[in-house]
Structure 1
Amino acid sequence: MSRFLAGLAAARRAGRPYGIASVCSAHPTVLRAALRRAAKGEGPVLIEATCNQVNQFGGYTGMAPADFIAFVEAIAAEEGVARDKIIFGGDHLGPNPWRREQASVALEKAAGMVEAYVAAGFTKIHLDASMGCAGEPAALDDRTVAERAAALCAVAEETARRGNLPAPVYILGTEVPVPGGADHALATVEPTAPDAAREAIAVHRAAFGKAGLSDAFTRVIAFVVQPGVEFGSDNVVAYDPPRAAALSALLDEEPALVFEAHSTDYQAEEALAALVGDGFPILKVGPGLTFAYREALYALDLVASDIVPGYGDRPLARAMEALMVDVPGSWSGYYHGDETALRIQRHFSYSDRIRYYWTRPEAEAAVAALLSALSGVRIPETVLHQYLPTMVPREADRAEDILIAAVDRVLAIYDGAAANRP
């Protein structure tokens, strides 16, 4: 399946561009939706884990890289998806989780993380050493970033060689939107300047060559740049092709490369299709998927409140509010305003910081109570239309299937945008 990714640049040159959604989530319902869609299609599914989410110490999911792959494979087996249809990617692999430590310590841990990812079977590796560590500037110069990325690449190459594993393909570059979305309203986002992207590519190529990694550099398939897309707490900056035209034209100088677009959540299908056509065929999406999951969950909470005697008045939403107020660490630095504004953002923000709470015992218990209340209950078509008006009647018979269908509607937009598959 690495051939699928390696063919992106050639397809663009041939005038037949195709793309792929990069599903960046560890949520089981999101993963099941992506895998169920893959079971019905011909192309691969790309599932990515991030450095903070999954690492050799467990990350915030509690999963090491091998655990994450086993977790996904178990769902894939239930959905009838062959292992060779799944591409596993590691995102932002570098010192970010340990950036408050000295660089030598953080980079040693980053090397251990890269080794764990490659040894577990991840074949798409995004190396990101852009962030400063303790005592360093917040943003590092291109040469330092490239040299650190090359050192991490050497670890990946040796791990693959030693384990007789497929040689990874690499994503490089660091100019990305704020992870998880911006924390304020945005009117526009400036695309990466072509000269800056050109310099980043040249510096990385030189650093890899100096480190004896020229062969590995031939497997660099994309650089991360900013095409001018972003989402804040309550607004989305749509892709504007003319503003990114000069950046896109840079790919004519680098025929073996494409660009990877981060934070494409909430873009319309037309915008996503334009990104693919303009040389940004790897489309990262994460919060947009869990946003759709939460949206459907809250709708079902209202459904159950209306039609299930004794269920109560929106107990799921109330439980999530109590949990987030009691444990504010995952949202308090990102949302702003008075108490009403904060409450709205906690539940309905495009940044979807609520996604960090679904695996907590209180949230799992509230979701289980909702699904139990609706188990075996026929939701009247008129009630479904009231709270889930975009859901086709009888599209899903069970609450669990309604949740998957809600996520799948987002995934379908990405598939439509990436449609010209080889």
Structure 2
Amino acid sequence: MSTKALLALPQLHRQGVQAGITSVCSAHPAVIRAALELGRDLGQPVLIEATCNQVNQDGGYTGMTPVDFRRFVEGIADATGFDRSHLILGGDHLGPNPWKHLPADQAMAKAQAMVAGYAAAGFEKIHLDCSMGCAGDPIALDDATTARRAAQLAAVSEAQSAVPPVYVVGTEVPVPGGALEEVAALEVTSPEAARTTVEVHRSVFEAHGLQAALSRVIGLVVQPGVEFGNQNVVAYVPAAAAALSQSLQQLPHLVFEAHSTDYQTPQALRALVRDGFAILKVGPGLTFALREALYGLDLIAAQRDNASPTLQPAMEALMTAEPAHWEKYYPGTAGEQRLQRHYSYSDRIRYYWAHPVAQKAVAALMARLGDAALPETLISQYLAAAWPEVMSGVTRPTAPALVQAAIRRVLKSYAAACLPDAAG
């Protein structure tokens, strides 16, 4: 069973074993391919998660239902030779968030239908997140209301599940989409708050006859003090999270799930796993690496052909013509917004890669470069991180290989944190 790796995490942490798992939160095929190829090469399970806004019964912003997303990921797994039995699919922030403009009863009915779809499609990991207020509610809900709504969703999941899923509860992170402003500092979740969240969920689940589901609650979402804004990253400080980490001694059946770990250093990722934040979620950091590689290739093509870049201008025209995915998130002057559209850590450009205009522009760039070896000197200039890999023969100096290598490089830092002896 693919969930064995997740179910084992609390026990491994109690035994002092540094063990974790990367949660890949992306629907980009290049990202999913890179994750599955690395998992194949390391012989490790791969956890890929979809959010409530990304994939739901209405299609989400990807246009995919949970069944569609499973087929999409499994198709890439088959193409890369990844064993499907090692694939873990998760649903992130599953709750009323996409419909929070509706009254709670209506929003929860939609959330129940969404969870039923995820469960029936065989998603093995479910994050129950009912912390946000709906129309007529406070903006943030108390633990008891949150737990009662989570129990409603858990009951649907248990009734519809093709396989018994594991659950994660709690949320001390920004809503899906990330922080909207520069993040100066963060308040780490207190041990008391973590214990209260667990105890309230336990009491409510037991009252609803959900003991079986409760036995498979393996994770609690907390804020360990990591986040990123548009232009800055808040780094993990182990000392600041020491009390929270030690509270796991009173929560022996749980590990912590850390969201927004994108852009943390390899050393910080290792420290997070060591301290019990064993589920490391990453998404924008992977498509940020993808964009860096594509823009670097755009400049290589321009230099090689004595021409102008084509991809970045195409993306700028697309994003300014259709600003819905970024205009509420990128403040500042016109010049500042232009830089953020392309280079923000929030990476809201990721919402545009599936657009036909963007796909056409990327396809034209890749066709222009083909599968020919690119000049090492231009790789050094515009994709410097790849140059050592090219010179050592690890990465072929071709456009497709360089794109995959950029994403894989990020994923390898997570693999090293979760499996310190990992290589590849």
Q: TM-score, normalization: structure 1? A: 0.97
Specify the alignment match of 2:323 in structure 1.
328
1:342 counterpart residue number? 337
Give the alignment partner of residue 380 of structure 1, picking from 370, 375, 382.
375
1:169 is aligned to: 166
Q: Distance in 2 between matches of 1:305 and 1:188?
A: 41
Contact 1:308 1:373 in 2 (8 A): no
Which position in structure 2 is the counterpart of 1:396? 396
Residue 270 of structure 2 is aligned to residue 273 of structure 1: yes
Which residue number in structure 2 is paired with residue 246 of structure 1? 243
Which residue in the other structure is 2:418 paired with?
Answer: 418
Matched, 1:302 2:303: no
AA at the equivalent of 1:296 = A
Partner of 1:18: 19
* Alpha carbons 1:396, 1:405 under 8 Å: kept: no
Look up the equivalent residue of 2:291 and give its one-letter code. R
Give distance in 2, aligned partners of 1:4 and 1:172.
18
SS at match of 2:257: strand
- Shift in Å, 1:308: 2.8
Residues 254 and 366 of structure 1: CA distance in aligned 2, closer, same or farther (over 3 Å): same
Q: 1:220 to 1:376 in 2, by over 3 A?
A: closer
Q: What is the aligned counterpart of 2:192 among 191, 195, 200? A: 195
Give the Cα–Cα distance (whole angstroms) in 2 for the partners of residues 194 and 204 of structure 1.
16
String of CA shifts for 1:56-106, please: whole Å, max 9, x gaps.
110000000010010011111110011101100000001001110111111
Q: Verify the 8 A CA contact 2:40 2:81 in the aligned structure 1.
A: yes
Mapped partners of 1:420, 1:298: distance in 2: 32
Q: Cα distance, 1:181 vs. partner? A: 3.2
Q: Distance in 1 between matches of 2:117 and 2:160?
A: 9
State the partner residue of 1:405: 405
Distance 2:421 2:146 in 1: 34
> Deviations along 1:181-203, whole A, 9 cap, x unmatched?
32222222111111111111111
Q: Which amino acid aligns with 1:417?
A: A
Q: Using the alignment, how far apart are the partners of 2:371 and 2:350 within structure 1?
A: 27
Matched residues in 1 for 2:175 and 2:94: separation? 16
Structure 1 position 166, deviation (Å): 2.0
Counterpart CA distance in 1 for 2:177 and 2:112 is 24
Paired position in structure 2 for 1:366: 361
Instruction: Say yes or no: does 1:352 pair with 2:332.
Output: no
How far, CA to CA, are the matches of 1:292 and 1:420 in structure 2? 22
3-state secondary structure, aligned to 1:390? helix
Does structure 2 retain, via aligned residues, the 8 Å contact 1:106–1:133? yes
* Residue identity opposite 1:321 in structure 2: E
For the 8 Å contact 2:27–2:50, the answer to whether it is kept is yes
Distance 2:203 2:72 in 1: 38
Aligned partner of 1:149 in structure 2 is: 150
Counterpart of 1:100?
A: 101
Separation in 1, partners of 2:370, 2:155:
52
Q: 2:279 aligned with 1:282, yes or no?
A: yes
Once residues 348 and 365 of structure 2 are traced to their aligned partners in structure 1, the CA distance between those partners, rounded to angstroms, is 21
Secondary structure of the equivalent of 1:410? Answer: helix
1:302-343 alpha-carbon deviations (Å, 9 max, x no partner): 01111136xx41111001001111111101111111111110
Amino acid in the other structure paired with 2:348 = R
**Aligned partner of 1:182 among 173, 179, 182:** 179
SS in 1 for 2:396: coil
Question: CA RMSD for the aligned pairs?
Answer: 1.3
Distance 1:33 1:302 in 2: 23
Tell me the amino acid that sits aligned with residue 367 of structure 2: S
**Do 1:49 and 1:91's aligned partners in 2 also have CA atoms closer than 8 Å?**
yes
The answer to whether the Cα contact below 8 Å between 1:17 and 1:277 also exists between their aligned partners in 2 is: yes
Amino acid at match of 1:42: G
Percent identical: 56
What is the Cα deviation at residue 378 of structure 1? 2.7
How far 1:216 moved relative to its partner? 1.2
Kindly provide the amino acid, as one letter, of the partner of residue 245 in structure 2.
S
Return the alpha-carbon distance in structure 2 between the equivalents of residues 261 and 421 of structure 1: 22
The answer to whether the aligner puts 1:89 opposite 2:84 as a matched pair is no
Bigger drift between 32-41 and 178-187 goes to 178-187
- 1:95 and 1:181, CA in 2 relative to 1: closer, same or farther beyond 3 A? closer
**Which position in structure 2 is the counterpart of 1:262?**
259
Give SS of 1:180's match: coil
Q: Give the letter aligned to residue 212 of structure 2.
A: D
Q: Which secondary structure does the structure 2 equivalent of 1:89 belong to? A: strand
Q: Distance in 2 between matches of 1:346 and 1:255?
A: 43
The number of residues matched between the two structures is 416
Q: Distance in 1 between matches of 2:148 and 2:396?
A: 51
Moved over 4 A (4+): none
What corresponds to 2:226 in structure 1? 229
1:206 aligned to which of 177, 200, 203: 203
Letter in 1 for 2:189: T
The CA distance in 1 between the partners of 2:24 and 2:308, in whole Å, is 34
Cα pair 1:261 1:280 within 8 Å, conserved: yes
- Aligned-pair CA distance for 1:401: 1.5
Shift of 1:178: 4.8
Gaps of 5+ in 1: none
Matches of 1:400 and 1:135 in 2, distance apart? Answer: 50
Q: Do the aligned residues in 2 keep the contact of 1:304 with 1:373 (CA within 8 Å)?
A: yes
Structure 1 residue 249: deviation in Å?
Answer: 1.3
Separation in structure 2 between the aligned mates of residue 290 and residue 353 of structure 1, nearest angstrom? 9
Gaps of 5+ in 2: none
How far 1:376 sits from its partner (Å)? 3.8
Q: Which region of structure 1 is more displaced relative to structure 2, 188-197 or 176-185?
A: 176-185
